[in-house]
Structure 1
Amino acid sequence: MTYREEPLGLGSKQGFGHYDAQFGEVIRSLDPCLGYRIERKLGWGIHSSVWLARELREDGFVALKILTTYASSLHRDSLMIEVDAPVLLMGHPNIIRALHDFTIPAKSGSNHPENEEHTSLSP
């Protein structure tokens, strides 16, 4: 699936590495009970894309935020607090609560080395 606004052809070496999600795709964490089916794209930014997803266990909808491989590497190296910000600001009326965070591997054939991964949040 191609999106004109996202630079899907640029990898983490160029500061990007967006996840190429497909409608109907099921994304799972290491916990086999957690799974999300991609339903619709909600938006994107330089460090992530956000998707409307159906939570398979609860059969409800969530917003699934998938960081780029570049932003995921910054978070992994403790250089980015985007994943930690919802926890740090918990209780603030303008901050939604993150339910889970997990990593998913970058898709093969994309512009990412094999060992790269995306950090995902389900608020």
Structure 2
Amino acid sequence: MAEYLLGGAKMLAEVCPKCGAPMFEVKGKRMCVVCAETGKNSVETAKTAPDSKYPDTLRVITPKYAAAPVKSVPVSDDIPARLDALILQFCARAEGEPDPSRCLSYMECIRTAAEARVMLNR
């Protein structure tokens, strides 16, 4: 769904009668992106009990990114120190910045770096 939104599609307030996902308007056409992508992604089917109130089949959609192998990323031990230095640099820039909008941008960067620092300490 995110790929369609980023591509300019519009999410509608209607839901797909087949799968219940939100409907989208893509290039003037109304469509269910989940049903459209079902053919592109791997789909597994599981049978349910015959007396169940649910449909006979259950579709499990595996996104493209989930099938990709996960690569481990090396993490540097000096990240907290580098974040601290970055926060200090942004503080110095914000202190001498005459433009309020740029100062606000620096403050947002400081907040983001500080939040990352807190998450690393957990």
TM-score by structure 1 length?
Answer: 0.24
Structure having the higher Rg: 2
Flag the structure with higher helix content: 2
Structure in which a larger fraction of residues adopt strand: 1
